[in-house]
Structure 1
Amino acid sequence: VNGFKDEAIKAIESVKWIPEWGEDRIKGMVRDRSDWCISRQRTWGVPIPVVYCKDCGKPICNDETISAISELFRKEGSDAWWIKDTSEFIPASVKCECGCGEFTKEYDIMDVWFDSGVSHTSVMEGEDFPSLTWPADLYLEGADQYRGWFQSSLLTSVVYKGQSPYKAVCTHGWVVDGEGKAMHKSLGNGIDPSEIIDQFGADILRLWAASSDYHSDIRISKPIISQLSDAYKKIRNTARFILGNLGNGAGFDPDKDSVSDDQLTELDKWALMKLDNLIDAVKKGYDDFDFHIAFHALHNFCVIDMSNFYLDIIKDRLYCEKETSVLRRAAQTAMYRIISAITRLAAPIISFTAEEIWQFMPHSAGDDKQSVFLNQMPEKSGIEFSADFKDKWEFIYNTRLGANKALEEARNAKTIGKSLEAKIIIKSSDADYDRYASLADQLKDILIVSGVEVEKAGVETTFEVAKAEGEKCERCWCYSKYVGTNHDHPTLCERCAIAVEA
Structure 2
Amino acid sequence: MNKTIILQKPISDIRLNKEQVRSIEKRWIKEIKKINSSSRKKYTIHDGPPYANGKIHLGHAINKIIKDITIRKKIFLGYKIRYLPGWDCHGLPIEIAVGSNKSNNEYKSYVQSQIKEQLSGFSELGCINDWKNYYMTMDSSVAKREVKALFKLIKKKKIFTKKKKIDFCSKCNSTLSEFEIEKEKINTLIKMDMLKLSDKKYILINKKNNWGIVTLLKNNSILKVGKLVKIRNIKNLTNSKRIKIRITKIIKKCNRHNTRTKILKVRQIYLNTYLEKLPKKNIKFFPKSTKLKFINSVFNRPLWCISRQRTWGTPIPIFYNKNKILESKKIKELVTENLHNWKKINLSKKYSKFKKCNDITDVWLDSGLTHYSVLKNKNFKEVSFPADLYLEGKDQHRGWFNASYITSMLLNKASPFKNLVTHGFAVDHYGSKMSKSKGNSIHPIELINKYGIENFRFYIATSNYFNDISFSNEKIKNKIFLIKKIKNIFRFIVTNLKDFKEVNIKLKNSLLIDRYLLFKLEELKKKVIEEDRKFRYYKSFEIIYKFLNVVLSNLYISSIKDRLYILRKESKTRRFCQKTLKIILKDLLIIVSPYIPYTSDMLFRLAFNKSILFERIKKRKVNFTKEEKKIIKKTIEIRKKFNSIKENNKERKLLKIYVNLRKKHISKLSQELIYFLHNYKNIIIHSKKLKLKLKDANIHLKCNRCWNFVSFLNKDICERCLLITSGKKISERVFF
Query: TM-score, normalised to structure 2's length?
Result: 0.56
* Alpha carbons of structure 1 residues 186 and 108: separation in structure 2 relative to 1, 3 Å: closer
Counterpart for residue 427 of structure 1: 656
1:180 aligns with 2:431: yes
Alignment of 1:328-343 (within 5 A): 328-343=574-589
Which deviates the most, 473-482 or 100-109? 100-109
The Cα shift of 1:289 comes to 0.8
Q: How many positions carry a matched residue from both structures? A: 453
Counterpart for residue 451 of structure 1: 684
**What is the CA deviation profile of residues 123-173 of structure 1, one whole-angstrom value per residue up to 9, with x for unaligned ones?**
112243113211111111122222221122111111211111111110011
* Alpha carbons of structure 1 residues 57 and 232: separation in structure 2 relative to 1, 3 Å: closer
Counterpart for residue 86 of structure 1: 345
Counterpart for residue 545 of structure 2: 299
Counterpart for residue 717 of structure 2: 492
Mapped to 1, the partners of 2:584 and 2:606 lie a distance apart of: 15
* Alpha carbons of structure 1 residues 57 and 199: separation in structure 2 relative to 1, 3 Å: closer
The Cα shift of 1:451 comes to 1.7
Counterpart for residue 46 of structure 1: 314
Counterpart for residue 373 of structure 2: 122
Counterpart for residue 501 of structure 1: 726
The Cα shift of 1:395 comes to 2.4
Mapped to 2, the partners of 1:35 and 1:104 lie a distance apart of: 23
Q: Which amino acid aligns with 1:125?
A: K
The Cα shift of 1:221 comes to 0.9
* Alpha carbons of structure 1 residues 226 and 4: separation in structure 2 relative to 1, 3 Å: same
Conserved 8 A contact 2:685-2:693: no
Alignment of 1:183-332 (within 5 A): 183-246=434-497, 250-253=498-501, 256-257=502-503, 259-332=505-578
Counterpart for residue 469 of structure 1: 700
Q: Which amino acid aligns with 1:5?
A: L
Tell me which of 389, 412, 425 is aligned to 2:628: 389
**What is the CA deviation profile of residues 361-390 of structure 1, one whole-angstrom value per residue up to 9, with x for unaligned ones?**
1x3xxxxx431011112x233014344433
Mapped to 1, the partners of 2:357 and 2:693 lie a distance apart of: 87
The Cα shift of 1:69 comes to 3.8
Mapped to 1, the partners of 2:413 and 2:645 lie a distance apart of: 68
**What is the CA deviation profile of residues 384-440 of structure 1, one whole-angstrom value per residue up to 9, with x for unaligned ones?**
434443343232222212212323457xx7x8xxxxxxx984233698999988743
The Cα shift of 1:106 comes to 0.9
Conserved 8 A contact 2:634-2:659: no
Mapped to 2, the partners of 1:195 and 1:464 lie a distance apart of: 58
Residue aligned with 2:275, SS: helix
The Cα shift of 1:108 comes to 2.6
Counterpart for residue 275 of structure 2: 5
**What is the CA deviation profile of residues 193-250 of structure 1, one whole-angstrom value per residue up to 9, with x for unaligned ones?**
223323332121121111111111111111111000011112111111000001xxx3
Structure (1/2) with the larger helix percentage: 1
Q: Which amino acid aligns with 2:560?
A: I
Mapped to 2, the partners of 1:114 and 1:301 lie a distance apart of: 47
* Alpha carbons of structure 1 residues 407 and 57: separation in structure 2 relative to 1, 3 Å: closer
Mapped to 2, the partners of 1:170 and 1:143 lie a distance apart of: 9
The Cα shift of 1:315 comes to 0.7
Structure (1/2) with the larger strand percentage: 2
Mapped to 2, the partners of 1:57 and 1:28 lie a distance apart of: 30
Mapped to 1, the partners of 2:496 and 2:560 lie a distance apart of: 11
Counterpart for residue 16 of structure 1: 284
Query: TM-score, normalised to structure 1's length?
Result: 0.80
Residue aligned with 1:241, SS: helix
The Cα shift of 1:5 comes to 2.2
> 5+ unaligned residues in a row in structure 2: which ranges?
1-157, 159-271, 728-736
1:133 aligns with 2:384: yes
Query: RMSD across aligned C-alpha pairs, in angstroms?
Result: 3.3
Larger radius of gyration: 2
Q: Which amino acid aligns with 1:371?
A: S
1:441 aligns with 2:671: yes
Counterpart for residue 358 of structure 1: 604
The Cα shift of 1:441 comes to 2.5
The Cα shift of 1:181 comes to 1.9
**What is the CA deviation profile of residues 249-296 of structure 1, one whole-angstrom value per residue up to 9, with x for unaligned ones?**
x3114xx33621222100101111111111112222222211101111
Counterpart for residue 646 of structure 2: 407
The Cα shift of 1:347 comes to 1.4
Residue aligned with 2:305, SS: coil
Mapped to 2, the partners of 1:335 and 1:168 lie a distance apart of: 37
Conserved 8 A contact 2:394-2:425: no
The Cα shift of 1:86 comes to 1.8
Q: Which amino acid aligns with 1:395?
A: K
Conserved 8 A contact 1:474-1:492: yes
Mapped to 1, the partners of 2:535 and 2:473 lie a distance apart of: 26
Conserved 8 A contact 1:234-1:299: no
> 5+ unaligned residues in a row in structure 1: which ranges?
88-94, 364-368, 416-422, 485-489
Counterpart for residue 346 of structure 1: 592
**What is the CA deviation profile of residues 468-493 of structure 1, one whole-angstrom value per residue up to 9, with x for unaligned ones?**
513x3222122223421xxxxx2322
* Alpha carbons of structure 1 residues 432 and 186: separation in structure 2 relative to 1, 3 Å: farther
Conserved 8 A contact 2:703-2:709: yes
The Cα shift of 1:85 comes to 2.0
* Alpha carbons of structure 1 residues 182 and 360: separation in structure 2 relative to 1, 3 Å: same
Q: Which amino acid aligns with 1:27?
A: I
* Alpha carbons of structure 1 residues 463 and 152: separation in structure 2 relative to 1, 3 Å: farther
Q: Between the two structures, name the one with larger relative contact order (CA 8 Å, sep ≥ 6).
A: 2
Alignment of 1:139-178 (within 5 A): 139-178=390-429
Conserved 8 A contact 1:137-1:166: yes
Mapped to 1, the partners of 2:653 and 2:379 lie a distance apart of: 71
Mapped to 1, the partners of 2:400 and 2:290 lie a distance apart of: 14
Q: Which amino acid aligns with 1:483?
A: L
Q: Which amino acid aligns with 1:451?
A: I
1:113 aligns with 2:113: no
Of all paired residues, the percent bearing the same amino acid is 31
Conserved 8 A contact 1:86-1:103: no
Residue aligned with 1:491, SS: coil
The Cα shift of 1:309 comes to 1.2
**What is the CA deviation profile of residues 78-108 of structure 1, one whole-angstrom value per residue up to 9, with x for unaligned ones?**
xx65xx4225xxxxxxx66x63599863123
Q: Which amino acid aligns with 2:656?
A: K
